[in-house]
Chains A and B, each alone.
Chain A
C-alpha cells in the first residue's frame, strides 16, 4: 500500500491564482481530512469527509472547497489564492473507528506571493 499520497510537494502561486491540491489513499478508508499548518503552529482542520459524496467544514474553511466523488480521492481547491493561504497542507485518512488512528500524507508546501 502507498498509504496517503499528496501532490504536488511544493507550489508557488501568485495572488489571485487557483489550484487544486491532490490527495489519494489506497486503504479504502471512509474518513478523510485536510489540515493546514502555519509556521511554528499546530495543524488546523480545513474540511473533512466521512465518505464519498459527503463533506463538511472544519475550523478554517474560508477560501477553500473540497469534493469527494470517490472513496480514494479528496482534492482541496484553492480559489483566488491569498498570502494568508501560505502554509503546509496535510491530508489524512482514517478507516477503523475502533482504533481512530489517522494516517497522514507527506504534505504540500504552498507559497502565495
Chain B
C-alpha cells in the first residue's frame, strides 16, 4: 500500500540532473512532494492534482500520470541545498481531510 519510490538513493555532482519516481498501487487524487533534511521536518515542495498536470518552480518540477498512478520529480542543475531525502505523499481524495500515505523515500546527496 505504501508508494514505492525509485531510486532509493542517488549521488550527484553539482549541476547534474536527477529524476525521482513515485509509484502507487492505488488510484490517486493528489501527489505531494516533500524534502526532508536530517533531523528536520519535511518541507513542502509542490502538489499535483489528478488531471495529468505538470508543475514546477525554479529548477524543480514534477509530473503526475494518474492512469499509471505515478508521479516523477525532476531536479535540474542540482545545487548543494537539494541534498536530503525526498518523499512523495499520495492522497486518494480531495479536501483538507485528505490523508497522505508517504512513499519509501529517496536519499539525494549532491556533492561539490
Bound together: no
Residues of chain B having any CB pair with chain A under 8 Å: none
